[in-house]
Structure 1
Amino acid sequence: MRGGRPRTAIGTYGTVNVRKLGCRYLAETRYRDVDGRLRRVTARCTSPTGAVATLKERLARRPGHPVGSLLSPASAFGELADLWLVDLEGRDISEGTKAEYRNVLRLHVRPAMQHYTLGEITTGRVEWFLKAERAVSYSRARMSRTILSQLFRYALRQDAIGRNPVEGTSPLAKPKGRPQALSLEQIATIRKAAAAWRTGDGVLGPRPDGQVRDLIEVLLGTGLRPGEALALRLCDIEDWS
């Protein structure tokens, strides 16, 4: 069983037909507008070639992308980055996060993608870029992936691409943490610094009350996290020495 005729893509037209009407010629075709509907477009002229040329001029003036769209698959990556930065300023996130996003885009993402158009940035190219970033550090690759995903989600909202190429990339392998312990020399140095803090000659202001020194001893003796130790009260601690 044979399929039907393929659907005309949005922003394109079908076969141009020319017929004579008295002393003039009529050129006509069907154009698929951005709302998905096929509409008949015509043009008249005293010659067949003139009618076709006039028709094509009218077709060229019809919008090929949704009204208000600022990007297309042929747009450069830099155009997307500039528009996304403008959108970033209006988002309800901290200024520190915005500054970090701008720095990652400027230092890592834009240099790697600036020579591509949006239609040329495939999942494979994003995968290659993220693997190169992961070879440097996990945190750098994770932040670059976050920025790219946000950029392409913005492009999706502008109908510039059909899918987010970041979504198909491999998960980033997080490095396993290795527990670290202080050496005896380091512990001795910390104890000495805490005991001598603001106790020397010429130090202005009130003298320390020993809480920093005692807190360090609690941390060493109990293995608590710093936040847990800071939450303790004096009545919570007993000296069993």
Structure 2
Amino acid sequence: MPRPPLPLGSWGKISRKQVAPGVWRAITRFRDYDGRTRQVEKRAGSGAKAERLLVIELRDRSASTAGQEVSRETILSAVIPLWWAELEDRNRADNTLTRYRDVVDNQILPGVGNLRIREATVTALDRFLKAVREKHGAATAKHAKTILSGVLGLAVRHGAADGNPLRDVAPVPVAKASVRALTVDEARALRAGLLAWQSASAPVGRKRPQDLLDVVDVMLATGCRIGEALAIRWPDVDLGTQRASVTVNGTVIYVPGEGLKWQSHPKSSSSQQKYTLPGFAVQMLLRRQVEQEEGNAFDVVFPSAAGTLRDPNNFRKQWRQARMDLGFDWVTPHTFRKSVATVLANAEGLAAASAQLGHSSEDVTRRHYVQKAHEAPDHADLLAQFGMEASG
């Protein structure tokens, strides 16, 4: 069965392939305004760069689409490039764009891309999102809903729809796990156990990393994410003042076709902040400053064994082995962030915890990062009156 024609000024799925050592090709089909569909390609030293160059070329070729009227008869796949151009102008993180592109290509375009705007009803979109959730999980369904909401919001702005049907689509249900954080005593026990684990003899043929505790300590001292911890550079560290500090300025991410990359901003703009350090973290950084070998191209505090950026996923693999051996199999790198939030919320209030983690609202901190207390307040004296004998 032949493929349906692309809408005018739009392109199909982009594919990348290495065609020679150090040469990658990105290629797709583009339907020009003469009605003919042509192959368009770009070449570069990496797949990601070739795709970026190709997208720029395609956006230039479809520039007149921006002035094209979007009507109730326009299909969604023709509106998506317009929405995508707006998304890129918002300077979203590379990981976000990669994830959105994957959802667009693999779920939205094949699932509802040929629907006309007038056909994108609450019923049709609700059915689609439920199918995505059943097959690919709640996270993918939530991403698809966010993208479609943006696309149909653009249609509303163009007068092609009276309202955004995504507002009335049923929420994507997500199983909410209760927050679990380390207590202070558990954190102390974990740190002591990890120090001993690093020093103990490893099984034959395996080598244990000697600085897992150092990375854990910077997360416990700040509440930063694992990618942000591994992106801290020595210029971000100030140990020469009475109140030593570290500033989180970026994060380490993986970009398909390019490998690890130091991204010049953390996950959110509010995460880019300066943290005053407790004593145990200051001592660790002073020691590393003395012991650090030269030749670290990114000047990061926690480089890989080869002196390059350290992969957060590799750290997670190393951490999984350590936590299993230590009996803390439930503790992930994100648990340290939750532990910081819980300690601060209990001692200083929710506002302090939210500010430390750089959240946009205290509600995010309360719902996802602070372990709830399961012990009711002591009101025994007040309630005792129910058991008193009646007077008179």
Match of 2:114 in 1: 115
TM-score normalised to the size of structure 2?
Answer: 0.32
Q: 1:180 to 1:156 in 2, by over 3 A?
A: same
Match of 1:11 in 2: none
- Taking structure 1 as the reference length, what is the TM-score of the superposition? 0.50
Cα distance in 2, alignment partners of residues 228 and 94 from structure 1: 21
- Cα distance in 1, alignment partners of residues 154 and 194 from structure 2: 50
Distance 1:118 1:87 in 2: 19
Distance in 2, Cα, partners of 1:111 & 1:235: 50
- Mapped contact 2:76–2:113 kept (Cα < 8 A): yes
Give 1:152's aligned residue.
152
Cross-structure match for 2:96 = 97
Alpha-carbon distance in structure 2 between the residues aligned to 1:214 and 1:123: 51
Shift of 1:100: 2.1
| 2:81 alignment partner in structure 1 | 82
Do the aligned residues in 2 keep the contact of 1:195 with 1:213 (CA within 8 Å)?
no
Shift of 1:129: 1.0
Q: What displacement does 1:94 show?
A: 2.5
Distance in 1 of aligned mates of 2:100 and 2:114: 20
Give how far 1:128 is off. Answer: 0.6
3-state SS of 1:166 partner: helix
Residue 72 of structure 2 aligns with an amino acid whose one-letter code is P
Alpha-carbon contact 1:74-1:118 (below 8 Å) kept: yes
Is 1:233 matched up with 2:279?
Answer: yes
Question: Retained in 1: the 8 A contact 2:117–2:161?
Answer: yes
Secondary structure of 1:133 counterpart: helix
Partner amino acid, structure 2, of 1:131:
K
Tell me the distance in 2 between the aligned counterparts of 1:140 and 1:91: 21
Change (3 A) 1:179 1:164: closer
Structure-2 residue corresponding to 1:221: none
Q: How many Å separate the matches in 2 of 1:227 and 1:143?
A: 29
2:388 corresponds to: none
Gap runs ≥5 in structure 1: 1-67, 182-186, 219-223, 237-241
- Quote the Cα distance in structure 2 between the aligned partners of 1:140 and 1:162: 27
Contact 2:73–2:116 (8 Å) recurs in 1 = yes
Q: Which has the larger radius of gyration?
A: 1
Correspondence for 1:106: 105
Give the AA of the match of 1:81: I
Q: Give the whole-Å Cα distance in 1 for the aligned partners of 2:223 and 2:280.
A: 13
| Cα offsets for 1:26-62 (capped at 9, x unmatched) | xxxxxxxxxxxxxxxxxxxxxxxxxxxxxxxxxxxxx
8 Å Cα contact 2:194-2:213 kept in structure 1: no
Alpha-carbon contact 1:69-1:159 (below 8 Å) kept: no
**Residue 103 of structure 1: CA displacement?**
1.7
Q: Which residue of 2 aligns with 1:139?
A: 139
| Aligned equivalents of 2:84, 2:99: Cα separation in 1 | 12
Measure how far apart 1:193 and its partner are: 5.1
**How many angstroms apart in 2 are the aligned matches of 1:212 and 1:168?**
47
Secondary structure of the 2:149 match is helix
Q: 1:233 is matched by which residue type in structure 2? A: G
Residue 156 of structure 1 aligns with an amino acid whose one-letter code is V
SS in 1 for 2:171: coil
- CA 1:92–1:228 in 2, change beyond 3 Å: closer, same or farther? closer
* Native 8 Å contact 1:138 1:174 kept in 2: yes
Structure 1 stretches of 4+ moved >6 Å: 189-192
2:126 corresponds to? 127
Measure the CA separation in 1 of the matches of 2:215 and 2:143: 36
Q: Quick one: structure 1 residues 132 and 191, their matched pair in 2 at CA, closer, same or farther if it must change by over 3 Å?
A: farther
Amino acid at match of 2:161: I
Go from structure 1 to structure 2 and tell me whether the alpha carbon gap of 1:226 and 1:164 turns closer, same or farther (over 3 Å shift): same
Q: CA deviation at 1:157?
A: 1.4
Distance 1:90 1:137, change over 3 A: same
Change beyond 3 A, Cα 1:225–1:156: same
| CA displacement at 1:96 relative to structure 2 | 2.8
Deviations 1:92-129 (A, max 9, x none): 32233222222211111111112211111100011111
Tell me the distance in 2 between the aligned counterparts of 1:197 and 1:91: 50
Query: Identity of paired residues, percent?
Result: 23
User: Contact 1:78/1:114 (CA < 8 Å) preserved in 2?
Assistant: yes
Give the unaligned 5+ runs of structure 2.
1-66, 182-189, 230-276, 283-392
- Structure 2 letter corresponding to 1:176: K
